[in-house]
Amino acid sequence: FDCVHLGFTRKYGKVGQFLNTGSGGDTSEDLLNRFDLDAGFFKPHFVLLTIGGNDSRVMDVERFGANLRELHRRFEALDTKVIFQTYYAPDSTEENPHCAFYNFSDCVRQVARETGSYLIDNLRRWLPFRGHHYDLYQTLMLDEFHLNEGGNRVYGYDIARSIGCPLEEPDTSHWSEAIRVQQLMDERSL
């Protein structure tokens, strides 16, 4: 999130505040339940909506899609632009293939199309990267489903670029790994 804020500020100056009201473990229903307090109250100009990982474990995809549409409807009522996102690729195995997760990612894509919203399809970039650079991919993961600090740096760096606000650090040592991974993703993107 800090990468996106930094990239936006470098491009446009200090034009507002960025707030992260995300909460680990939340589902789309949790977002709906706290919408007025964590979104409606602030009336944001735009929102990055990244949800579905936890939903894929506790609800069916139809209910998830309905929740996404309702979130979009509520944001639209605030005149807030929604940027939907898919997640990075979890470390799927034969024992735990995360099939539901991928169906939920397809649902995010579908709702973004239906609503005419912008979509940052991170999963589309992370899947080929994981397949071709598995050892490097593993260094970015905390566990099979969550990114570590380096993985989050790659994720944020790539998101900032996706919204047209790339980070351009004079000292690239802090960002060198994120830049290298992003270049590898660029080579493998579909």
* pLDDT < 50 stretches in the chain: 190
The pLDDT of residue 190 is 46
The pLDDT of residue 2 is 80
The pLDDT of residue 172 is 67
The pLDDT of residue 184 is 93
The pLDDT of residue 19 is 85
- Is the distance from CB of 79 to CB of 36 less than 8 angstroms? no
Q: How wide is the angle at C-alpha 157 spanned by C-alphas 156 and 158, nearest 5°?
A: 90
119: Cα separation from own chain's centroid = 9
